[in-house]
Amino acid sequence: MLLRNPNLNLNRTLITLLDKCKSMLQLNQLHAVVITLGLSQDVFFMSKIVSFSALSDSNNTDYSYRALLNLQDPTIFEWNSVIRGYSKSKNPNKSISVFVKMLQVGIYPDHLTYPFLAKATSRLLRKELGVSIHGHVIKSGLEIDRFVANSLIHMHGSCGDIVYARKVFDGTPVKNLVSWNSMVDGYAKCGYLDLARGLFDLMPERDVRSWSCLIDGYAKSGNYGDAMAVFEKMRTSGPKANEVTMVSVLCACAHLGALDKGRMMHQYLVDNGFELNLVLRTSLIDMYAKCGAVEEAFAVFRGVSLRKSDVLIWNAMIGGLATHGLVKESLDLYTEMQIAGIKPDEITFLCLLSACAHGGLVKQASYFFDGLGKNGMTAKTEHYACMVDVMARAGQVAEAYQFLCQMPVEPTASMLGALLSGCMNHGKLDLAELIGKKLIELDPEHDGRYIGLSNVYAIGRRWDEARIMREAMERRGVKKTPGYSFLEMSGAHHRFNAHDKSHPSSEQIYTMLSFIVSQMQFGVLKEGQEHCLYGIEGI
């Protein structure tokens, strides 16, 4: 008999209770009953206990693993449950440790083991580990299993090994939609957007994930206009967008500064019955704040119940206020956050330091910087960069340089750049020259480093040295990246590169610019001529 306890009614009751178990507290109680009844080695009962604790929302995979190790003969099902649980936990590397232990005790993996390991590896972003897992798959003869192959495509793509991902994709004899989506997503994540788009266009069928992968790829690579163009095509000829799609679209609107389009996307969410959960509300707040509509961002923020709020949404609002120089409001909101009982995280302190930088609040910034340690966090490079920026903006460039030299982390180009800017703004040209030289040593292929030092010499009227910097830049073959700007008008986006004439109205634009320059030479525009600035068709 499967159940060794003679009381079949009690066994049936236990099975029913285990199936209906909804919390770890209930599971602990049932596990105690199982042990008391001498059923702690019964595979049927223990499989339910191990799988529930490994996959529960409370993330008690450690409990599950201890239960597994106490079994005399655990099956592959129990091992897979624990590996799967760790793959979704905060410690995905434990999946690999459990896999190694499983091999040591003589349990052979099956077609379910490797997808869980691939997921853990994807989260760890360890390319060499991915290659090792792939090798185990080949030794097991499971490389032709479509479920395993799809997980390998996703794993290699996530780890940046797109060549391996494509080899697996091409070697999969029967591809399904997941295979195509995984490959498109891999190309997009690795920045090969032309290849991602080419494969997307070849897909025999597409679902919402297909479109979302491409849109997200464009958004994360900075091609925000392309992300919006794909979304518009999706609206007309594709499936209904989901939450993932809309987060990427709102991100694109935010970086384009496309407020009108962002408002339309907000309305799209409402019209299509989206639940404005914390993720979407956070994205909306970020979009409105980046587009300059702080009041609308605040309206979205105030629509969230404090009881159901999360640190991410507070960070978005505090950071949005700080970006627009609303320093007092930003710091007041942090106080409100503390009263609401929301625990700050590293991003919170980054937003607060940014607010202090805009307000020149050096003492307050030091207080928040020290608050990281008091809250059990360790300052990261970004926090040190903010502190350098705070002091440099406030004119305390010598103190900022001393702080930079005493940091436990190596100075980054962004830190030195902030200090260089502070030195130039406050006339500390000797220190600016020193920082400028360090920047070139640190980042010799960046055009801005040479231009920055050249500008330092130009401010000090050291023309020969300024010219030498420009020549050094040319000798190294470093070319200046042309600047560009975006303009949104009547719902359309226009991108203008420096010295670019590709815009369809470029002839009219340059004519108008020439007119403005000529008028400026003789004073302001005459009364009544301002309307000429709006006479360019389509702009």
The CA-atom distances, in angstroms, between 453 and each of 43, 438, 457 are: 71, 10, 6
Write the secondary structure of 172-227 as one string of H (helix), E (strand) and C (coil). Answer: CCCCCHHHHHHHHHHHHHCCCHHHHHHHHHHCCCCCHHHHHHHHHHHHHCCCHHHH
Structure tokens at 388: 């350098």
What 366-374 contacts at long range (C-beta under 8 Å, 24+ apart), as own/partner pairs, is 371/344, 372/346
| DSSP for 415-469, written as a single string | HHHHHHHHHHHTT-HHHHHHHHHHHHHH-TT-HHHHHHHHHHHHHTT-HHHHHHH
CA 447 to CA 455: how far, in whole Å?
12
CA 387 to CA 368: how far, in whole Å?
10
Cβ pair 99, 86 in contact under 8 A: no
CA 374 to CA 149: how far, in whole Å?
47
In angstroms, how far is CA 375 from the centroid of its own chain?
Answer: 24
Strand partners, 489: 492
How many of the other CB atoms lie within 10 Å of CB of 373? Answer: 10
CA 107 to CA 103: how far, in whole Å?
5
Question: Which residues make Cβ contacts (< 8 Å) with residue 224, sequence separation at least 6?
Answer: 218, 251, 252, 253, 255, 256
The dihedral through the CA atoms of 278, 284, 290, 293 has a sign that is negative
How many of the other CB atoms lie within 10 Å of CB of 345? Answer: 15
CA 96 to CA 103: how far, in whole Å?
11
CA 155 to CA 148: how far, in whole Å?
10
In angstroms, how far is CA 95 from the centroid of its own chain?
Answer: 24
CA 149 to CA 452: how far, in whole Å?
50
Task: Please name the helix (run of DSSP H) or strand (run of DSSP E) that holds residue 18, with its range, or none.
Answer: helix 8-19
The dihedral through the CA atoms of 147, 153, 154, 156 has a sign that is positive
**Closest alpha carbon to 185 in 160, 164, 204, 157:** 157
**Closest alpha carbon to 411 in 448, 432, 441, 391:** 441
Angle, CA 482 vertex, CA 481 and CA 485 arms, to 5°: 130
Exposure string of 510-536, with b = 16+ CB inside 10 Å and e = fewer, is eebeeeeeeeeeeeeeeeeeeeeeeee
In angstroms, how far is CA 44 from the centroid of its own chain?
Answer: 42
Cβ pair 350, 330 in contact under 8 A: no
| DSSP for 453-515, written as a single string | HHHHHHHTT-HHHHHHHHHHHHHTTPPPPPPEEEEEETTEEEEEETT---STTHHHHHHHHHH
Structure tokens at 462: 């050291």
| pLDDT tens digits, 205-230 | 999 999 999 999 999 999 999 999 99
163, burial (CB in 10 Å: exposed 0-12, middle 13-18, buried 19+):
exposed
5, burial (CB in 10 Å: exposed 0-12, middle 13-18, buried 19+):
middle
- Please tell me the pTM assigned to this model: 0.77
Cβ pair 77, 51 in contact under 8 A: yes
pLDDT in tens, the chain (539 residues): 344 445 666 667 666 666 677 776 766 676 777 677 676 666 666 767 777 766 655 467 888 888 888 888 888 988 999 999 999 888 899 999 999 999 999 999 999 999 999 999 999 999 999 999 999 999 999 998 999 999 999 999 999 999 999 999 999 999 999 999 999 999 999 999 999 999 999 999 999 999 999 999 999 999 999 999 999 999 999 999 999 999 999 999 999 999 999 999 999 999 999 999 999 999 999 999 999 999 999 999 999 887 667 899 999 999 999 999 999 999 999 999 999 999 999 999 999 999 999 898 999 999 999 999 999 999 999 999 999 999 999 989 999 999 988 999 888 888 888 888 888 888 888 888 888 888 877 777 677 777 777 777 888 788 887 787 777 766 766 666 655 566 656 556 666 666 667 777 777 877 887 778 777 765 554 544 444 444 444 44
Cβ pair 458, 466 in contact under 8 A: yes
Indicate the class that CATH gives domain 391-483.
mainly alpha
Helix (H, G, I), strand (E, B) or coil at 156: helix
| pLDDT tens digits, 467-516 | 877 777 667 666 666 555 666 565 566 666 666 677 777 778 778 877 78
Task: Please name the helix (run of DSSP H) or strand (run of DSSP E) that holds residue 126, with its range, or none.
Answer: none
Cβ pair 214, 188 in contact under 8 A: yes
